[in-house]
């Protein structure tokens, strides 16, 4: 199973620190999010899209779910 390092850090923050975001943990998360951003950018470039298109599509998808009162729940086709 592949664990995402940022998710592990958030899990430990919740589990070990009662959800408190310390400055040290914030800095660690900023570093991990940099990695996430790099991967997202590289994948977007590889498939011929932009981060702007990805973000715009996501916002449109969320507004459509809100309009249909399907913002809660699970699944891609809500």
18 vs 72 pLDDT, higher one: 18
pLDDT band at 78 (very low <50, low <70, confident <90, very high): low
**28 and 59 housed in the same domain:** no
Structural domain including 3 reads 1-47
pTM over 0.75: no
Backbone angles phi, psi at 51, to 5 degrees: -65, -30
**17 and 55 housed in the same domain:** no
**9 and 30 housed in the same domain:** yes
Question: Looking at 1-78, which runs of residues are DSSP E strands?
Answer: none
User: What angle (nearest 5°) sits at the alpha carbon of residue 55, between those of residues 62 and 30?
Assistant: 110
pLDDT tens digits for range 12-45: 999 999 999 999 999 999 999 998 899 999 999 9
Predicted local distance difference test score (pLDDT) of residue 73: 72
Average the pLDDT over 64-68 and give the result: 91
């Amino acid at each position: 199973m592949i664990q995402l390092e940022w998710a592990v850090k958030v899990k430990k923050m919740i589990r070990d620190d009662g959800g408190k975001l310390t400055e040290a943990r914030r800095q660690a998360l900023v570093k991990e999010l940099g990695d996430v951003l790099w991967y997202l950018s590289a994948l977007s470039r590889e498939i011929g899209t932009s981060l702007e298109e990805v973000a715009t599509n996501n916002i449109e998808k969320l507004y459509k779910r809100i309009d249909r009162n399907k913002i809660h729940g699970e699944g891609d086709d809500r």
